Structures are given as C-alpha cells and as structure tokens.
Structure 1
Amino acid sequence: MRAVIQRVTQASVTVDGKVISKIGRVDARPTILAQTLTPLCLPEGILCLIGISTTDTAYESQWLATKLLGLKIFPEDKEGEAWGWKSSVVDAQYEILCVSQFTLQANLRKGSKPDFHGAKAKQPPGGDDARHMYHDFLEDLRTKYQADKVFDGQFGAMMDVQLTNDGPVTLILDSATDAPAPPKSKQPLTAEQKQRARDKVAARQGRAKQRTDDSAMMPANGTEQAKAGSTAVAAISQEKLISEAEQKSRELSETFKLAMTESYP
C-alpha cells in the first residue's frame, strides 16, 4: 500500500456538490500582525491518500495503519510551536481523513500515459477486493484509535478534495519499500521429515556415547603407561646415581692414597 500523508489545518471531501467528510476547525483568535479578526489556523489532523496495489495483503494494511497512527509529525506545544516532531495524531488527539486514490499506484516508467495495471481492481471477478481492503484499513484505524476521529471519502467516486497543508508537511509511505518482510508461518513436518529428525538425533546420541566410552578407556591406559614410564625412569635414575657414587668413591680413594704417600715417605 502506498500513502501520501499531509499535516493539515483543515480538509474536506465533496461529492456531487455535497461535503461528505471534513476535519479541522478555524481558531478565531486575532493575529498580532494583522490586528484584525483574521482567523488563525492551527494543525488539526492528517489527510491520508491511500493507493492499494495488486500485491497488497492484510499484512500491508495493518502495517500502514499502525505506522500512520505512530508518526511523530506534530509539535508538542499546540499553541506556540510551529515546528517540532514530538507528537503523533494519537498523542495530540487529532482527526484523520482518508481518501482512496488508485492513481498512487500508477506506473510512469514507460511513455507519458500512466499505467494503472499495478493498482488492485475494485471489482475483480472474485469480489470487491480493493473496496474490502480499504474498508478493512479504515476499521483497523478506528479500532486502534477512536472511531469518531477517523473519516473517509467515497470509494470509487469522483471527489473534490480540498485541504490546507500545514507547514507544508507531506510524507510518503510505501509498504513495498518501508515495511519489514512479513513473518513466515512454519509448516508442520511430514511423517518422513519427523523420522529423519529422529534418526539424526539417535545418530548424534550414538556418536556421543561412543566418544564417552573412548574417553573412559583412554585415561586408564594412559595412567598405566605413565606409571610404567615413571618406574623405568626411576630405575634408570637410581642406577645412574649408584654408578656416579661408586665412581666418586674410587676417585676419593685414589686421592687419599696419593696424599698419604706424599705425606709419609
């Protein structure tokens, strides 16, 4: 869904010379500069033009309704602040006027004549698809906000739309580029997929058990080998010490004999 959103001081929709919807009011306080009773207009709500494409679903409709109600496009100070992006239409308790406009889905990439094949038909073979989606969008707005503050034009009619844009503030929302991808629903597993999953779990458990058994055996063998190695090293060290001691004893004996010979001729 594609929407053109305008912050307005007033807006109205006329069909066949009759005003069918309007929002906003005129504050009759005098302005200081003019020193007359020139009406002073303040922001009073949102005019939202809605275009529905052939690929739109209830997900795009609900996303747009939530996004529209949450947009921070109004100043916090209603009396003195001209600009500011602090309050939403819900925060400020303003009104919303929605107008269906299939021309928002026009394709202008080729030639100079608009191509409207991308717009959802209002009377397809299966029923009033676009009309139903537009009405569902309005009901979603009324449910999430307040029913008495949401107005609309006349779907499919030639309308005269008049507005006073405040600011001007005009924004464009497009579900095709701005909305996150819809969540994918999980499909239930078939009997074959369940069996494959059980087989994988059993195989993993078997491999884990085998690794556990191998680990339990390896430390025992390793310990015996370590003990044997330690015993062999200890035996070699002991023999070496004995041999070195005997050699040292012989050297000392020879030295002693030599010293005695030299001392007593």
Structure 2
Amino acid sequence: MLEQLLDIMALETLAEDRFRGRNMHPRGFRIYGGQVLAQAVCAAQKTVDEDRVVHSQHAYFLRPGDCAEPVVYEVERARDGGSFTSRRVVALQKGRPILVSSMSFQRPEEGYEYQPDLPAVTPPEELPTERQRAIEDGTLDEDFMITTGEDLDVRMVHPIDWRNPQQADGELCNWMKTTGPVADDPALHLSLLTYMSDTMVLDAGLIQHGRSWMEGGLQIASLDHAIWFHAPCRADEWLLHTADLERNSGGRTLVRGRFFTREGVHVATVMQQGLMRTR
C-alpha cells in the first residue's frame, strides 16, 4: 500500500543524528536495497537546512538486510559549507553496517543547461502494469512486492517473461509512479525517486545473456549505487526509467539508469554495479 511506503519514509528519531526505520516488506527474504537508500536520504535530510536539496548519493551495500529487524541510521555531519553540505550515513542492523552512503546537498542555483532527449517509447496508458502481469501469470510474491505491489505503478515498455527470458540487448525502459497522490514535499519526492531507482537496473545485465533472477544457479546482488539528481520532480506523476548496460565482466554488471518526466525533463541519473555470477 502507498500509505505503508510513505510511513516507512517517516523515520523515528532516537537521538541527535540517529534514526530508526521500519521495513516495507517485513516478511521478505531480504530488505529491498532501494528502501535503505531512500531512508538514508531521509535521515540525512533531517540534519540539513531546508533550503538545501540533495544532488548526489553514493552508496555501498555491505550485507543483506533482515526484513524482520528495523534499520538504524547514524548520520555524520561531514561538512556544512557556504553552498554545499555533505553527510555520511551508516545503516545498521544488530550493530553491524548493511550500507554506507555519502550524500551532498546544495542550495538551488542557476547554470548552464543541457540534457539528452526523452526516448520515443510507448506511453504508459497502452501498457499493462507489472502487478497485473504477475497476477495473470500466477507469479505474484505477496511477501516481496517491489514492482508488483500496490504502492508503485510500474509498466515495462517491453515486458519480459522472467520464467523464460529471451536474449535481448541490455536496454530496458519502464514507466513508474506512485499509485496515488503524495504531499507537496520536494524532499519526499526525491526520496521516493531514490526508492524507485533500485528497480530493474541489474535486469539489463541479465537480459543481455537471456538469464533470469529466478535461476537458482545465479548469484545476483547490488554492490554499489550512485544517483545524481538534476531537477525536481514528482514521484506521483509518470517518470520514464531507462536502464542501459555498460559492461559485464569479472562476475559483475554495470548499468546506467536515467529518469525523465513525461514532459521530457531529465531529472536523475543512476549508476549501479551488481554481482552477477554462477554459484
């Protein structure tokens, strides 16, 4: 439910610069990485002046998260400068770090403008939702619904049957937004974009070889994740997410993602490296 997603973004304050977050899928097999990334942004934002907006996050996933345990976020105030603010956030479970993240915030400024064009793709109204496809295919996992839940509306431009994937170029596109309206809080919308940014990225590396995350013989996990925010956006309005494979090598995959508004504004860029190897 969208209310649950918004609820997990509202972190509990434990002490100065120390916060606790609940989990979106408490019965899942591991915590969805996008949740920890987004909650880390929320934690850092609580220690930053309201006029400063996050413009980049760089994170490393260190351990799988336990869905049955809350996550504690400790914020280090690395620097408060005239234009930029830097924060380091460690996400902990049972006293052990599961993610470390560095973030930078900036006062809004005017500057030179350039961006790539919005790709010409099928509009979302002409595409099925991933939840609809999962229900029809009988593959809906009630305990770990990320792209198939009732909080996000996700529609792939070229849907993939992950039970029988066919080899294709490592280029994926999907439309995404929340399933309902979200309050007018720019920081919350950027946190929700961060939550979305961990979806379907590593899939571009898999489909290049016609492989699936459902295969028992593959070991797949996010290793590190970076996101740059270029412009404000609304997570409750359609965003086009493109994922393009850069390189597969050394048991790893590297994929670049981009987010565009429906009007064609390029609002964020993502780079993610993941583990992708035979067990």
TM range (shorter): under 0.3
TM-score normalized by the length of structure 1 = 0.23
User: Which structure shows the higher strand fraction?
Assistant: 2
User: Which structure shows the higher helix fraction?
Assistant: 1
Between 1 and 2, higher relative CO (CA 8 Å, sep ≥ 6) is seen in: 1
